[in-house]
Structures are given as structure tokens and as C-alpha cells.
């Protein structure tokens, strides 16, 4: 859990407290000090979070580093073998974000593990939306989110968007208007994937449903996120190494940029 001492990171810490209270996980509260004028606020923020978590668990530690925030977080992530990084997002948008970047966007691009970016609008964790394109990577995202849903007792929805072009050999025009239940009953590729997602949720002890929308992927994700008032949106990031590691999938980039909910980017 990373803090830069800002109001946004304090809000991120409050949101993340739902997860950090779960037993059986080691928690590191981490602050990177870029200048002396922010040292006091970062230390104070970490002390407050430590005091909030320490009575409920014994496996909480604090670390401070000096240097560029994103670089220090990434170095700690590589060295520490973490499963999840939690950062706040100050909400930079548009050209400024592209030219300057932000700590959260750089961490998402280069982190060796999954990253949760908590937005300033994040308040509670009651409803989780998982966006899945199918296949084993999508099921891995579902399993990751299901563990969170079980711990936080949140409701979970797995969403698959079908475009206007059939995606598999066993799809037909009927499938382009079918519900999740109909696809599962027909045993199509998408239906088998959704059935496996339901099974993954049940095995994790999470409660939830599967849903299909028809249309353009990013438009339908936006619509579902808005209509469902989700607190956390989960997407996959299936990078390869090297220079292409810099390029996020279009859907993942869009979700990070456009949605007001907290976003969990599940890494390969």
C-alpha cells in the first residue's frame, strides 16, 4: 500500500483497508520521499494507516525510501515479490497525463504484479465488475477478483461484451442477441467461459452473476459501470516483455482513464 501523503492517497488507504484487514497476507505500507517538504506528510500518513491496521493484525510493516516515487515503488515491487500494489490516482487527464505521466500510470505499465488504482471518488467496496474477453487469462482475472469479493463480502458481476461480429466457430446470429444464461445453455464458446467464471466464483466463496452485453466493447463497459454503480472494476493486462511492455491494451487503458471507480489491473 503506497502513500504520497496526499488526500488522495489517504482516501486510497481507507478504500484499501477493506482488503488489508483480511488475514493471511503480509502488508507493507510504503512511502517514497521525493523532497524534504513532503517527508512529514508521508510519514504521518503511514503512521495513521499503521495505527488503523496494527490492532487487527501482526503482519503489517512500514518502509520509507527516497527518490522518484514510481521508480522506488517499482524497485520495491521487484525486490519484495508482492502480489498486489495499491496506489492512489490524483486524476490527471488528457494531454497533461500523456506528457507528464503519473505515479499510478507508470506503476501500472511497469509493475511485475497486479495493481489497484484507487480514484478520488472511491468510497466503499460493495460491488465489483470484472471485464473478461474470454479464455484462461479472463478466468484468471475472475479468480483474482473472486478472492477479493469473498473477503470483502462484495457482490460481483462478470461481464463479457459480444461485438456485432461472431467471435467463434460455434457462434451464430442468434448468439449476438443471447443472454448469458442462453449462451451457457447452448454451450457456445462464450457460454462455456461464463459457466467456468460462475464456477470460479463459487469455489472462492464469492456471490455474483455473469452478464453479456452486445455492442462496442468500451461503450458497453462504460454503460455497465455507470448503470451498475460499481466500486471496483477489474481488467486484465496481458503484457509481453521489452518495448511493447509500454503499451497497455486499449480496453485496459480506457478503463483506467475514463471510469471513476477504483480499477484493479490483473497482471499475467
- Which residue segment(s) compose the domain that 40 sits in? 2-118
Domain check: are 49 and 6 in the same one?
yes
Domain check: are 160 and 40 in the same one?
no
The domain boundary residue, chosen from 69, 99, 118: 118
Domain check: are 146 and 260 in the same one?
yes
Domain check: are 71 and 132 in the same one?
no
Q: Which three cell numbers stand for residue 189?
A: 464458446
How does pLDDT run across 222-263, given as a tens digit for each residue? 999 999 999 999 998 765 444 444 445 678 888 888 888 899
How does pLDDT run across 102-153, given as a tens digit for each residue? 788 889 988 999 999 988 767 788 999 999 988 898 999 999 999 999 988 9
- CA neighbor of 104 nearest in space, from 226, 256, 267: 256
The enclosing domain of 209 has a CATH number of 3.40.50.620
Average pLDDT, the chain: 83
Overall number of domains in the chain: 2
Domain check: are 111 and 192 in the same one?
no
Dihedral of the CA atoms 71, 72, 73, 76 (nearest 10)?
120
Domain check: are 156 and 258 in the same one?
yes
- CA neighbor of 267 nearest in space, from 87, 144, 101, 151: 144
The domain boundary residue, chosen from 118, 146, 172: 118
pLDDT band at 55 (very low <50, low <70, confident <90, very high): low
The domain boundary residue, chosen from 89, 118, 147: 118
CA distance 83 to 86: 10
Amino acid at each position: 500500500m503506497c502513500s504520497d501523503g496526499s488526500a488522495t492517497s489517504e482516501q486510497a488507504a481507507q478504500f484499501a483497508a477493506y482488503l488489508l484487514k483480511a488475514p493471511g497476507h503480509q502488508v507493507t505500507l510504503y512511502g517514497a520521499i521525493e523532497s524534504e517538504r513532503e517527508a512529514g506528510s508521508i510519514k504521518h500518513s503511514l503512521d495513521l494507516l499503521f495505527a488503523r491496521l496494527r490492532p487487527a493484525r501482526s503482519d503489517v510493516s512500514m518502509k520509507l525510501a527516497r527518490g522518484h516515487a514510481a521508480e522506488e515503488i517499482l524497485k520495491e515491487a521487484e525486490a519484495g515479490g508482492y502480489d498486489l500494489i495499491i496506489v492512489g490516482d490524483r486524476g490527471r487527464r488528457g494531454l497533461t497525463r500523456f506528457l507528464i505521466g503519473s505515479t499510478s500510470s507508470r506503476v501500472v505499465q511497469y509493475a511485475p504484479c497486479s495493481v489497484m488504482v484507487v480514484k478520488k471518488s472511491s468510497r466503499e467496496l460493495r460491488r465489483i465488475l470484472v471485464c473478461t474477453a474470454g479464455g484462461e487469462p479472463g478466468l484468471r482475472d475472475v479468480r483474482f477478483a473472486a478472492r477479493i469479493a469473498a473477503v470483502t463480502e462484495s457482490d460481483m458481476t462478470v461481464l463479457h461484451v459480444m461485438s456485432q461480429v461472431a467471435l467463434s466457430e460455434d457462434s451464430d446470429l442468434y448468439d449476438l442477441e443471447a443472454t448469458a444464461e442462453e449462451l451457457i445453455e447452448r454451450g457456445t464458446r462464450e457460454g462455456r467461459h461464463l459457466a467456468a467464471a460462475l464456477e470460479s466464483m463459487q469455489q472462492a466463496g464469492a456471490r455474483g452473476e455473469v452478464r453479456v452485453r452486445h455492442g462496442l466493447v468500451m461503450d458497453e463497459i462504460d454503460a455497465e459501470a455507470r448503470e451498475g454503480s460499481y466500486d471496483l472494476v477489474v481488467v486484465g493486462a496481458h503484457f509481453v516483455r521489452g518495448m511493447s511492455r509500454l503499451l497497455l491494451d486499449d480496453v485496459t487503458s480506457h478503463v483506467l482513464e475514463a471510469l471513476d471507480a477504483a480499477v484493479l489491473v490483473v497482471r499475467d
